[in-house]
Structure 1
Amino acid sequence: MKTVVAYLDAAATTRVLPQVAEVVLHWMSEDFGNAGSRTHEYGTRAKKAVARAREGIATHLGVRPDELIFTSGATESNNIALLGLAPYGAEHGRRHIVSTAIEHKAVLEPLEHLEAQGFEIDLIEPGPSGRVSAEAVLERVRPDTLLVSVMQVNNETGVIQPVAELAEHLRATETYFHVDAAQGFGKLPESLRAPIDLISFSGHKIGAPKGIGGLVVRRRGRVAAPLKPLMFGGGQERGLRPGTLPVPLIAGLSTALETFENEHTKWLAAAEEFRSRLLVALRKTRFHLHGDQEHVMPHILNLSFEGVDAEALILQLKSYAAVATGSACTSASYTPSHVLAAMQLPQEQISNGLRLSWFPDQANELDVDEFVDVIAGYQAGVQTSTLA
């Protein structure tokens, strides 16, 4: 058995960067003050650290610092954006919401909740490409459409959605636009600088700690989306997210993003190089790639192997690499991918989609040829058994 198991599940989470861990530890054990404490230096230093982090992250996203609130991550941010906007929609007779059938459950489940409250939810299926067209979204928008919600990058296929194009069109309407940027935050900054009203993101996909992320509430002129808080008990974060600010996690998020920005070009090239090597090696097997490969992130590969059960294959690969069948949030009890189903792929591909996702430094721990030989050997054995 191999002693090193390569990590190919970076779309689920990533290893905290060493420099980030140092920063987090510092703000946990030395400068451990509460950013809300105003009577001593510990609190002042904590408050300044939060302000520096907010300014840096806001600059990266092309927004003002006061348009960014810190949350526990994209799931909470999605809930604040979707459920927090609903009272305004109900009050003004705008109960129609357009989204896609390939969204993360952190969007789809709040939308199901709103549907039960009388909202009309219009989910668009992207077809085999896994990419919705801006036209398909815009043609669903009506005078009573409160919100359009489209993810930046699909978490299972890595397919990039046309959020910048949608933002430009929707800005001229009264419909608000929300983007779940959990997979693209830090990696595709340009499209998030488009005039998107609400942006949700997490830090743990780019080497920050788990449990920290944010929500951008971008103003239209002087007016921001009229969100109502979901929790009460303090005035922190413009009253939208009460509670003591997690200064160590916020500082860690800021450091992770700074590091990622500095290495961004190099990271993209290395991720693409690993992808190319892997695809060349996979020619030894019979496989199907899922999603539009012209509009895809370089570090995510979704595929299925002909005649091979994905769950059984993962067991064969566990000594070589950590891989997944899809979203980490639904992997505890395996069900066929709702993303691949919405793409209308053949049933065998829907049931056996495998997601490989990587950060280059961890992916390079993998012997690609040996990894693929295991897949090819297992596939050949399955075929022989079937023929027998």
Structure 2
Amino acid sequence: MGRVVTYLDAAATTRVDPRVAEVVLHWMTDDFGNAGSRTHEYGSRAKRGVQQSRQFLASTFGAEPDELIFTSGATESNNIALLGLTPHGEQSGRRHIITSAIEHKAVIEPLEHLQSRGFEVDFIEPGLSGRVSADAVLERLRPDTLLVSIMHVNNETGVVQPVVELAERLRDTPTYFHVDAAQGYGKLPQDLTAPIDLISVSGHKIGAPKGVGMLVARHQGWDELPLQPIMFGGGQERGLRPGTLPVPLIMGLAEAARIFQKEHARWTKSAAELRTRLLDALAKTRFRINGDQNHVVPHILNLSFDGVDAEALIVLLKEHVAVATGSACTSASYAPSHVLTAMGLPEEAAANGLRLSWFPDQTSDLDVDALAALVSHMQSDSA
């Protein structure tokens, strides 16, 4: 039997909670109806299940059920939010967008596409803290600013962005506010009850299956947001996300959110305890922590070890722990992290950031001292 490899890449994805898997399997094999089928009980049960899930999930944002759209994940949600506002921006002459240079590629690349269509995008660099200043965002507001898009929690550093402050300060302006909450949903629940217009979420960051997520699109008083669909055919989800609803995945997402809500306090405490254990053990090595540690989630830690190549370290550690250099969408690339580069880190540190991220119940076999010893040994060899 092979060595047990501890999973420390939860920011990329989490294991589906076994309790969630049971729910998904039930809705795949027993109550397997199409929620759009109106002529029999199978379809009726599926429709009721989706309605109940939508109501619960919307409540986690303090939103109404009809403000929540089911999608395949945060990438699709981001695209609907950003590209769906494009026609309104073009018609109203508001072609200016503010974002940060540390956003996930699922935000950066749609915005780069909008640049090719004549939109002007300000990419704010956060500095060494990795935290965008709300003042820096507000200073760039213009009469033609259509949208501000700032992530909730950075996926590489775990640094929490000031989305609550931004929501409050933007609410009396005509500018829409979008938040990519892929990493923050469930972990900092109160933040997402702020008056944010558009919120994107992926289920697989909290123990739900891959392939399901949400877009919250809050009403503006009596008016809906001026979103236009980017896909067509079927009219489901207010016409913004056509296609047969993946009932098993939606039910799994709701179950994962319920579990995470119920176990949130224990999860947070355990995640913070592991962070302390890791840092205590690694004290015998030479490293820098990337990002403002006064504004950070407990389960993501980004480190640059002095004199150590991150890719070589990952190879050394691969039989012990599963870690990554950054976003799973770009971790195959050997280029320096665009997040750490935008923060202004020295080139060597930006090229060698190592992200450790965890769900506490998946790390019971982690030997933090052995991990530290391997790093220390590598630093000794490179000295």
**How far off its partner does 1:340 sit?**
0.2
For 2:365 and 2:100, the matched residues in 1 are separated by 36
Aligned to 1:386: none
Q: Match of 2:85, SS?
A: helix
Q: Which runs of 5+ in 1 are unaligned?
A: 384-388
Aligned to 1:122: 122
For 1:333 and 1:356, the matched residues in 2 are separated by 18
The number of residue pairs the alignment matches comes to: 383
Aligned to 1:100: 100
For 1:363 and 1:87, the matched residues in 2 are separated by 47
Give the TM-score normalised by structure 1.
Answer: 0.98
For 1:221 and 1:365, the matched residues in 2 are separated by 51
For 1:228 and 1:221, the matched residues in 2 are separated by 19
Residue type of the partner of 2:319? S
Question: Which digits, 9 at most, give the CA deviation of each residue in 1:308-342, with x for residues without a partner?
Answer: 00000000000110000000001123221000000
| 1:46 aligned onto 2:46 | yes
**How far off its partner does 1:382 sit?**
1.4
For 1:281 and 1:307, the matched residues in 2 are separated by 18
Aligned to 1:373: 373
CA contact (8 A) 1:15 1:207 kept: yes
| Alignment RMSD (CA, Å) | 0.8
Aligned to 1:180: 180
| 1:88 aligned onto 2:92 | no
Give the TM-score normalised by structure 2.
Answer: 0.99
CA contact (8 A) 1:96 1:144 kept: yes
Matches within 5 A, 1:62-211: 62-211=62-211
CA contact (8 A) 1:2 1:320 kept: no
Question: Which digits, 9 at most, give the CA deviation of each residue in 1:10-67, with x for residues without a partner?
Answer: 0000000001000000000111000000000000000000001000100011100000
Identity of aligned residues (%): 70
Residue type of the partner of 1:273? E
Aligned to 1:279: 279
For 2:224 and 2:36, the matched residues in 1 are separated by 25
For 1:295 and 1:333, the matched residues in 2 are separated by 28
**How far off its partner does 1:173 sit?**
0.4
For 2:379 and 2:315, the matched residues in 1 are separated by 13
Question: Which digits, 9 at most, give the CA deviation of each residue in 1:115-143, with x for residues without a partner?
Answer: 00000000100000000111111110111
Aligned to 1:222: 222
For 2:334 and 2:54, the matched residues in 1 are separated by 38
Aligned to 2:24: 24
For 1:208 and 1:334, the matched residues in 2 are separated by 30
| 1:315 aligned onto 2:311 | no
Q: Match of 2:314, SS?
A: helix
Residue type of the partner of 1:331? S
**How far off its partner does 1:2 sit?**
6.2
For 2:363 and 2:295, the matched residues in 1 are separated by 22
**How far off its partner does 1:287 sit?**
0.3
CA contact (8 A) 1:206 1:257 kept: yes
Residue type of the partner of 2:27? W
**How far off its partner does 1:224 sit?**
2.3
Q: Match of 1:270, SS?
A: helix
For 2:283 and 2:244, the matched residues in 1 are separated by 52
For 2:237 and 2:164, the matched residues in 1 are separated by 26
Q: Which runs of 5+ in 2 are unaligned?
A: none
Aligned to 1:304: 304
Residue type of the partner of 1:248? P
**How far off its partner does 1:364 sit?**
2.3
